[in-house]
Chain A
Amino acid sequence: MGAGSRRILALYLPWLSAERLHRTDQTPLVLVAQERGRQVIRATCPAAAAEGLHPGLALADARAQVPGVAVADHDPAADAACLDWLADGATRWSPMAAALAPHGFLIDTSGCAHLFGGEASLIADVVTRLHRLGFTAAPAIAATPAAAMALARFGGSTVADLPLTALTDLEPVAVALRRAGLKRVGEVAALPRAAVASRFGEALLTALDALTESAPQPLDPRVPLAEVMAEQRFPQPIATADAVRAALERLLLHCAVQLGQRGHGGRLFALALYRADGHVATVTVETAAPQRDAAVLLRLFDERIAALNDLLDPGFGYDLLRLAVPVTHTLDESQLGLEGGQLAETQLAELVDRLTARLGRGRIRRLARADTHIPEQASFDLPLASAPPARWEPPPLGEPPTRPIRLFDPPQPVEVLAEVPDGPPRRFRWRGRVLDVAAHEGPERIAAEWWRRKDNAGLTRDYWRIEDGDGRRYWLFRHGLYDRETVGPRWYLHGLFA
């Protein structure tokens, strides 16, 4: 799509900071910020503007002018968040919507205005909805985001007629332009580019290009664009869980058909629920393997919605549901055949998906192994999805287990009584109890991985398998070789045997 054919709708919200507060009384309101030791107006409401208060005015002067003026703190971050929220809601008209703080937000309506009865009725719909939310918006359509926003802010029909404020906010540049006798954007655009750049700076040229569509300006969409997508609009908003579920099922079937035509299965499914009052809720489901079975997906969504911390609040109802599949993978028809071992595989994959949807990604884990002698690093658990099954050596026949089934990480310090400092333990105290050693085997000597450390530090461990008088089996180690590495080696309990 060429730059000329793009139709970007900009919505300029002049009173955003004030209107965002949803006040009910009509007293003039100014939003102020601290600036060099005094309070300066940053934004106003329409009523205050009508009284002659404007951004840049000191609050003291404003109070002198309008004694009863209401004052609130200016919060640019909250304004930006509000714009993001509005841009999220604007994805109902086009998936390409982006906030442009601090002025307003943009919707790329290229090729989708006809879905709403043409550009005029699309704009009317946007403005009406914003008005219902309590926001005053000035719309404008142009071929580039910057031009659309400038036209929305300053009015007019062509970019050439725009005032120079649309080009720069910097006071010195504006003054220089004024001194040169320039008043309109068109006049600057008519000048030789090199002259403009050398006299007023590169930045002005960049701003000029943005307005006159000679530079590409991608919109940064709020939601990732998906190739596979289905949506359903409701003239009468739906609010019941059953209705939402039925609609979701239809959308899943639509997406399943699209995926089937491509020979793909989805890995990520995102359901966006657009509330009539502008709020958008998103529910996502991830699958371990590519999936396009609508029944299975519906069940995953059920799990996910049931596990949501803040339950979906339909408010006055949803008037648009959109299901997007941003991540897809090839899924051949043959893989859907369910026979014998494959049936079990499928059942297990579905179980993992359901548990993942319910509990979260990292909650289902598998024991992985690493090539090291250090016991606590030799085995650890990783998320099931990210860890392929490891190969473990089968233990030698006829030997008792030499590794515990439970490992304390970090090891628990114990007090040990040994006959000789480098001999086996005789008695030890753990968790306040004194335990006698009835049988022992060891030591199994495990050295620190000195080759990994520059300073050759780390103590050798002597591991002992211990059985106490009641038959409980422990894995104890002495940290450091007596006399060679340390004089007072400490003892630790590292694990419990079966």
Chain B
Amino acid sequence: MPPVVRLLPPPPPDRPAVTGRLCLDGGIADAALNGGLALAGCHEIYGPAASAFALMLALAAPRAGPILWLADARGDEGRLYGAGLAELGGDPGRLWLVMAGNTLAALRAAAEAQRCAALACVVIEAGSASAVDLTVTRRLQLAAAASGVFTLLVRAGPARPSAALTRWRARAAPARRLAGNAPGPPRLALALERQRGGPADIDIELEWDRDRRRFLPASAIGQRLPVGAAFGRRVAPYPRTVSALAVS
């Protein structure tokens, strides 16, 4: 394979921003969502890449301020990693982790946090807790609508009834390939499964643009980009060595 440099993503397509909405793909999903994901609302996400999607949404939210992350007590998916968060384009210092211990305490803390309009986003990792039912989600939705705090509910499964504005299923999608068959920027396959008072059943594939902290529709980015060494920062072939301190 000829050496190919990595390229900056193509310039963003023009997307008129709608106030109070978070733009996703600039296409069918945004049209179905009436301009984007409502920021003053509660959205439900499940699936294998749920917490990754929640993290990206929180970073993409326009309001500055801390992201309050109510962590799941089980933590069997590993801990949130600051260096990885920085690599996703966020400032890890903005992330406030709250270890509530149990779901009930987490929900109480969430209710408290939702009243604080200085927060950018509240993410609740609820797992498969049965305590998160229709009443609880309605409460979260009403509080989010009242204070305008972007609220994301990360859940393990879709089964329970919910009063959230939307429900998403998020899983990882194969990333575009970079030089040397290296996986490119993160890509997510998302399914809008439910929307209150709006169309649903929409599948989109989004690529995360960490430099501008926004989503790009995967369809707008080609699989292979033209070669242009001037744009590239580093050249294959691999392997590269980061801190080669091995003593021989």
- Enumerate chain A interface residues (CB-CB to B < 8 A): 343-345, 347-348, 350-351, 354-355, 358-359, 362-369, 373, 375, 378-381, 384, 389-390, 392-409, 438-447, 450, 456, 460, 465-467, 469-473, 481, 484-485, 495-498
Residues of chain B lying within 8 A (CB to CB) of residue A367 = 80, 82, 85, 92-93, 95, 97
Chain B's interface size range is 35 or more
Residues of chain B lying within 8 A (CB to CB) of residue A365 = 96-99
Contact of A467 with B242 in the complex, beta carbons under 8 Å:
no
Residues of chain B lying within 8 A (CB to CB) of residue A395 = 86-87, 89, 210
User: Is B8 close to A, CB under 8 A?
Assistant: yes
Cα of A402 to Cα of B79 in the assembled complex, Å: 17
Cα of A384 to Cα of B89 in the assembled complex, Å: 21
CB distance from A411 to the nearest CB of B (A): 10
Contact of B92 with A405 in the complex, beta carbons under 8 Å:
no
Cα of A376 to Cα of B239 in the assembled complex, Å: 22
- Enumerate chain B interface residues (CB-CB to A < 8 A): 6-9, 48-49, 51-52, 55-56, 65-66, 77-89, 91-93, 95-101, 105, 108-109, 112-113, 116-119, 171-175, 177-178, 180-189, 208, 210-211, 231, 233, 238-248
Cα of A57 to Cα of B181 in the assembled complex, Å: 91
Contact of B93 with A390 in the complex, beta carbons under 8 Å:
yes
Residues of chain B lying within 8 A (CB to CB) of residue A444 = 239-242
Residues of chain A lying within 8 A (CB to CB) of residue B186 = 400-401, 473, 497-498
What residue in chain A is nearest B8 (Cβ atoms)? A398
What residue in chain B is nearest A389 (Cβ atoms)? B93
12 A–B contact pairs at CB < 8 A? A367-B80, A381-B82, A392-B83, A400-B178, A405-B80, A439-B177, A440-B183, A441-B180, A442-B239, A460-B245, A473-B172, A498-B52
What residue in chain B is nearest A497 (Cβ atoms)? B186
Contact of B242 with A445 in the complex, beta carbons under 8 Å:
yes
CB distance from A396 to the nearest CB of B (A): 6
Cα of A397 to Cα of B48 in the assembled complex, Å: 27
Known pairs A439-B175, A470-B171, A498-B186; A399 contacts B6 (CB<8 A)? yes
Cα of A406 to Cα of B80 in the assembled complex, Å: 5
CB distance from A347 to the nearest CB of B (A): 4
Contact of A400 with B89 in the complex, beta carbons under 8 Å:
no
Residue with the highest number of chain B CB atoms closer than 10 Å, among A398, A402, A404? A398
Contact of B233 with A396 in the complex, beta carbons under 8 Å:
yes
Contact of B83 with A406 in the complex, beta carbons under 8 Å:
no
Cα of A481 to Cα of B84 in the assembled complex, Å: 25
Residue with the highest number of chain A CB atoms closer than 10 Å, among B84, B88, B98, B248? B84
Contact of A351 among B85, B112, B177, B184 (CB under 8 A): B112
Cα of A430 to Cα of B238 in the assembled complex, Å: 26
Contact of B93 with A398 in the complex, beta carbons under 8 Å:
no
Cα of A355 to Cα of B96 in the assembled complex, Å: 12
Known pairs A392-B92, A396-B233; A471 contacts B175 (CB<8 A)? yes
CB distance from B216 to the nearest CB of A (A): 13
Cα of A373 to Cα of B243 in the assembled complex, Å: 8
What residue in chain B is nearest A380 (Cβ atoms)? B82
Contact of B211 among A397, A403, A407, A441 (CB under 8 A): A397
Contact of B88 among A401, A440, A456 (CB under 8 A): A401
Contact of A384 with B92 in the complex, beta carbons under 8 Å:
no
